[in-house]
Structure 1
Amino acid sequence: MLLTISPFPVSHRNPHFLSSFNTPTPFLPLRSKTHLSKSHLYSNLSALPKQMLSVGLPVQEVFPGVLVPEVKTLSAASRDGLLAGDVILAVDGTELSKTGPDAVSKVVDIVKRNRKSGVLFRVERRSQDFDIRFTPDKNFYGTGKIGVQLSPNVRITKVRPRNIPETFRFAGKEFMGLSSNVLDGLKKLSGPVAIIAVGAEVARSNIDGLYQFAALLNINLAVINLLPLPALDGGTLALIVLEAVRGGRKLPVEVEQGIMSSGIVFVLFIGLFSLSRIHLALILLEKCCNYISFAKIKVF
């Protein structure tokens, strides 16, 4: 018969044996410097310096007009002579200035409204300007379409840093720009399905953009992780601050367990909410079927 484990006898009378059952073991995250150092914030942000060294800082210059990257075969645009690579400078006498995505929306709106009367484009091709009149086809919703893919007329160049300080200066500039996009886009909360879809679109369109997408995704995760929610590192920091305010006295175990449980429930609720938004977006897909949100390219 086995009577001992290590120096302690196996007996219900042994106080060490009983203490393992009498002492509650709270399932709480370890609030220590070791736990906080496990946050991947710094490793996540390392994607920015890597981008600066391997690809460079993307600099975007906007030109007048709207670019036509693709013309569908057997469409109104192909029948009337529009070619891929052309730049639309004006539509029905309306000049298209350096407005980026707004110029694309303006072209789409004018074509949709003039399905029967036709649309006059002033087009630039190989440094030559000329006019083309289109008779739009009818789309599924009864509005006009000419069968082209449009994008802002921009040119992106890559500037590589000359030294290490300039590398981190470029990375900081990119970080501030991406952080601004993150904070401005909180109202456009998306779940993992949308993240995968956007990542796949980036990989198909421009492999260099994967660096920016990785940095943007990790900044999102860092911001979310620092929120004062009990289930995240931000909640752990909040509890540490609360203990410091209380003079180093910890909260009761039951209170901490309740806080952690409520935080986990809240995070799960946010996840379900984002998934429900995706489901509703799929139901209302007909309202945005002509938009590719990440690349800001429109097809009509």
Structure 2
Amino acid sequence: MSVLAAIAVLAVLILVHELGHFVAARSQGIHVNRFSLGFGPILWKYQGSETEYAIRAFPLGGFVGFPDDDPDSDIPPNDPNLLRNRPILDRAIVISAGVIANLIFAYLVLVLQLGIVGIPENNYLPGAIVRPVNEQSVAYQAGIREGDIILAVNGQQLAASEKSIALLTKEIQTHPSQQIELKIQRNNEQLSLPITPKTGTDNKGVIGVELGPNGTAFYRRPHNPLEIFSIAANRFQQLFVGTVKGFGLLITNFQQTVGQVSGPVNIVKIGAQLAANNSANLLSFAAVISINLAIINILPIPALDGGQLAFLLIEALRGKPLPTRIQEGVMQTGLMLLLGLGIFLIVKETTQLTSQLEWVQKLFQ
């Protein structure tokens, strides 16, 4: 059931994206002759006055069709309500509407989650708790183990506060290749461990450990509706900025980050694991994937919304569109590359399903 729930979430996100294109076109009087959720064989269809609505066999995709290039369409080629005959701004609105719809949907999902589940807070205790630590890391070699609680660094006590992790992180980062002293609590025993952070690529100290707040999380009811919208806005900003930074790292540091790229199999797997742990996590999952879907689609890659917007920008600069054969060639090449990447990821993830649950859960904290 959790797998079906994750697939349903992805189908809803695709539906939202395509509805963005559809509503933006119809609201401007632009002809739309097809609206499809999914791809492959048609399972159900309905012919409206102008548009054919269909559900297809594979829900992880969809499209909005325009009669501009439909040889069977009886609409005259010079009809002003064909998409290609509209001004650049009108076309840009239609093309970018899917991305905008996904971003708005992500924010509304966060609002819904906060309204239903509540506002997350912590009962803080002194110190910072150590999360999974790599056995090859500086921290592990120095004797730090998962579940340890770091109570002090260089004589500075880590108070029962959300600022404790920031203080500890700052001390580690500002002492590359310099020994620091950590006070550790392990079960009922307190230890003093010297550790020397190694110098990272940005010349900051690193010890190779994940840190979390020491305490218990709980949810409280919001004081008023404005609090929900405000916290949801902050959360949306964090997720959006974090996602953009992630794509930036993929571009600037491809070899180190390419292993984190997930295809549909892993995405469904992660969603299923989250749903199995707590059904409310599906809302966070939906918000994260919706933001990712928006950012991916706005990239200037052929066959994606960003690629079509790039063609519009070129048209605006040239005063006329690129020749049709060039646009079609670029779009077909881009589509083949995307399909190839999709097939590669599906095969890779089907034969080697490595868990990324912890990475996603960090986004939900």
TM range (shorter): 0.5 to 0.7
Give the counterpart letter for 2:240 in structure 1: S
Distance across 2 between alignment mates of 1:62 and 1:268: 48
Residue 171 of structure 1 deviates from its aligned partner by: 1.3
What does residue range 246-265 of structure 1 map to in structure 2 within 5 Å? 246-247=318-319, 249-265=320-336
Among residues 191, 194, 198, which one is paired with 2:266 in the alignment? Answer: 194
Q: Percent identity?
A: 31
Which consecutive residues of structure 1, in runs of 5 or more, have no partner in the other structure? 1-18, 69-86, 91-96, 103-120, 124-128, 132-150
Aligned to 1:275: 346
What does residue range 54-203 of structure 1 map to in structure 2 within 5 Å? 54-60=116-122, 63=125, 64=127, 122-123=186-187, 129=188, 153-186=214-247, 187=257, 188-203=260-275
Q: Relative contact order (alpha carbons < 8 A, sep ≥ 6): 1 or 2 greater?
A: 1
Aligned to 1:105: none
Structure 2 CA distance for partners of 1:184 and 1:210, relative to 1, 3 Å? same
Distance across 2 between alignment mates of 1:207 and 1:67: 27
Aligned to 1:37: 97
Distance across 2 between alignment mates of 1:214 and 1:267: 23
Distance across 2 between alignment mates of 1:99 and 1:281: 35
Residue 37 of structure 1: SS of its match in structure 2? Answer: helix
Of structures 1 and 2, the larger Rg is shown by 1
Structure 2 CA distance for partners of 1:270 and 1:152, relative to 1, 3 Å? farther
Residue 253 of structure 1 deviates from its aligned partner by: 0.9
Cα distance per residue 1:225-245 (max 9 Å; x no partner): 111112111112111111111
Distance across 1 between alignment mates of 2:124 and 2:337: 43
Residue 192 of structure 1 deviates from its aligned partner by: 1.0
Aligned to 2:301: 229
Distance across 2 between alignment mates of 1:153 and 1:252: 61
| 8 Å contact from structure 1 (residues 48, 211) kept in 2 | yes
Aligned to 1:50: 112
Distance across 2 between alignment mates of 1:194 and 1:217: 12
Task: Pick which of 183-192 and 195-204 moved more.
Answer: 183-192
Alignment TM-score, normalising by the size of structure 1? 0.53
Among residues 209, 228, 234, which one is paired with 2:281 in the alignment? Answer: 209
Structure 2 CA distance for partners of 1:44 and 1:180, relative to 1, 3 Å? closer
Distance across 1 between alignment mates of 2:322 and 2:317: 11
| 8 Å contact from structure 1 (residues 226, 233) kept in 2 | yes
Which consecutive residues of structure 2, in runs of 5 or more, have no partner in the other structure? 1-70, 85-90, 132-146, 151-157, 159-163, 169-184, 191-211, 248-256
Give the counterpart letter for 1:37 in structure 2: A
